[in-house]
Structure formats: structure tokens, C-alpha cells
């Protein structure tokens, strides 16, 4: 698969294992069109297959927007069947991000509206710049979110607040997003990428299998086809057969840093 994409930048730091994916349509405030969504899907598919990639940082180019929304001109041309297919495809790709066994951190620089907010919410952790703005303004267009926004927003901020934000189309500033639990950190924009990389590097210092199983267990709670507690118990047991568990416990008892291998 290619490592270049028309609508995003794909930059792997081999030393750290951190892949930075940057949405790169600054003249459109990184708005999502069908081609960009496909690029995101292909980039994540490649990243998940690449053993050199250990964690993923997702951000937008420029200082104004992470993703300012969907490409409205493109949406306006869709009929009912095409709209259903577009939503299902977007959901499939965003679920690929959410279900990634490799940690994904969104560094939200500026506006994250509509599909941009949905994309950020599909990531495991969200760090916002102090000028970030979040919102699901679809009702202003006579629409609802189509890429999982109604589901993930309720999971993150609670049903009542999610309904209010969906129905009013209100934008949320970074500090309010932090208070609501929509993001976990707010930092000055100049520090956003460095802070996000440092956070991801801390996670990558842990046992890769345990990190992947934590993500899987949390996701299982929200999956109606799975049982979260059973998934956790199975993952807990699986860790005991891993080299990482043996190394982690040995390192603790020997009072030394662990050297995890992911096995």
C-alpha cells in the first residue's frame, strides 16, 4: 500500500514508533469529503499492518481547524441511497480507528465540527488546543450526524448533555470540553503536538499487549454484541501467557525498568 495520500500527510518516526497522520486540506479547513475519508481508512489500515507503527497521532494542518466539518457541497448532491452508503462507510472507517489495538491520540487544533468532532471522538484520547471548538451542527442543515456522533457523544458526555448539544448545535469551547469529559487535556496551541506526542510516548512505554487489551475491554462495554466483564476477564487471563507479563513482574520485583516486547 502507498505511504502517500492525496488529502493527508503520513509521517512515521521510526525511533519512537509514533505515526503522525495530518489531515491536509487547509484551504478547506480540512473538511471531510469522500476521498479524504477513504484516505483516512487506507492510512489506518496501513498503520495497523505496519509493525513499526506503535501509536498514532491524528491532527489537522494549519492553526484554524482539526476538521471543520463535512464537505457540504458534496453532501448536497447525495440522494437517499448514496447518503446511507456514505454514512455506513464513514462509520466503518471511524470504527476501525476506535477498535485499533494501537493507541490513537487526537491533537485537536482549532475547529472540530460535524464530521471533525465525530473523527476526534473515534480516537482513544483527545487533547485540545486552547482555541479548539467542538460541535455537532448538523441540525442547522436539516441533518443528523452520520459517522457515529450521536452514539459517541452520549458515551463521552452523558445522554442529557449530548442531546442538548445535538439539538441546539451549540459549539463547546476547549475548557468546557475538558469539564464535560470530551477531551482529557487543554494546552496552548504551540504546545499541542509536543504534549500529545509525550502523552503517546508514555503509553508506548507500557506493555503493548496490555494496552491493546485495555482498549478492547473498554470498547466491549459499549458493544451490544459483547460482554464487557467477560472480555476483561479473558484479556486478564491472556496476559498471564505473555512474555510482557513475565518481564513486567520480574522488573517490578528486581526494581528495574521493564523492557517490553509486545509478546
Given 138, 164, 191, 254, which residue is catalytic?
138
Res 145 pLDDT > 60? yes
- 8-204 has which fold? 2-enoyl-CoA Hydratase; Chain A, domain 1 (3.90.226)
In the block, which residue shows the cell 526494581? 255
Average pLDDT, rounded, for the chain: 95
Instruction: Determine whether 191 is an active site residue.
Output: no
d(CA 145, CA 219): 21
The full set of domain ranges for the chain reads: 8-204, 208-253
pTM for this one?
Answer: 0.92
d(CA 99, CA 213): 11
In the block, which residue shows the cell 503522525? 20
Instruction: Determine whether 92 is an active site residue.
Output: no
Given 88, 98, 118, 254, which residue is catalytic?
118
Q: C-alpha distances in angstroms, 118 versus 93, 113, 121, 161, 231?
A: 11, 8, 5, 16, 26
Q: How confident is the model at residue 114 (pLDDT cuts 50, 70, 90)?
A: very high
State in Å, rounded, how far the first CA of the chain is from the last one: 26
Q: Check residue 1 and give its pLDDT.
A: 45
Amino acid at each position: 500500500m502507498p505511504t502517500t495520500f492525496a488529502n493527508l500527510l503520513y509521517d512515521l518516526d521510526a525511533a519512537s514508533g509514533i505515526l503522525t497522520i495530518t489531515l491536509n486540506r487547509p484551504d478547506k479547513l480540512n473538511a471531510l469529503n469522500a476521498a479524504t475519508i477513504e484516505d483516512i481508512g487506507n492510512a489506518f489500515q496501513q498503520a495497523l499492518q505496519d509493525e513499526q507503527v506503535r501509536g498514532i497521532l491524528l491532527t489537522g494542518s494549519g492553526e484554524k481547524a482539526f476538521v471543520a466539518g463535512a464537505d457540504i457541497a458534496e453532501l448536497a448532491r447525495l440522494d437517499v441511497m448514496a447518503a446511507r452508503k456514505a454514512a455506513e462507510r464513514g462509520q466503518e472507517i471511524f470504527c476501525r480507528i476506535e477498535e485499533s489495538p494501537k493507541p490513537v491520540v487526537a491533537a485537536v487544533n482549532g475547529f472540530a465540527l460535524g464530521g471533525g468532532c465525530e473523527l476526534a471522538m473515534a480516537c482513544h484520547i483527545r487533547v485540545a488546543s486552547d482555541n479548539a471548538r467542538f460541535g455537532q451542527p448538523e441540525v442547522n442543515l436539516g441533518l443528523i450526524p452520520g459517522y457515529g456522533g450521536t452514539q459517541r457523544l452520549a458515551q463521552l458526555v452523558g445522554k442529557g448533555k449530548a442531546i442538548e448539544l445535538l439539538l441546539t448545535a451549540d459549539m463547546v469551547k476547549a475548557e468546557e470540553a475538558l469539564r464535560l469529559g470530551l477531551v482529557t487535556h487543554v494546552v496552548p496551541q504551540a504546545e499541542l503536538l509536543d504534549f500529545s506526542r509525550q502523552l503517546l510516548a508514555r503509553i508506548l512505554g507500557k506493555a503493548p499487549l496490555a494496552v491493546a487489551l485495555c482498549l478492547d475491554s473498554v470498547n466491549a462495554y459499549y458493544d451490544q454484541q459483547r460482554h464487557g466483564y467477560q472480555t476483561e476477564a479473558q484479556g486478564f487471563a491472556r496476559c498471564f501467557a505473555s512474555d510482557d507479563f513475565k518481564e513486567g513482574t520480574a522488573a517490578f520485583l528486581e526494581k528495574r525498568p521493564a523492557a517490553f516486547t509486545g509478546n
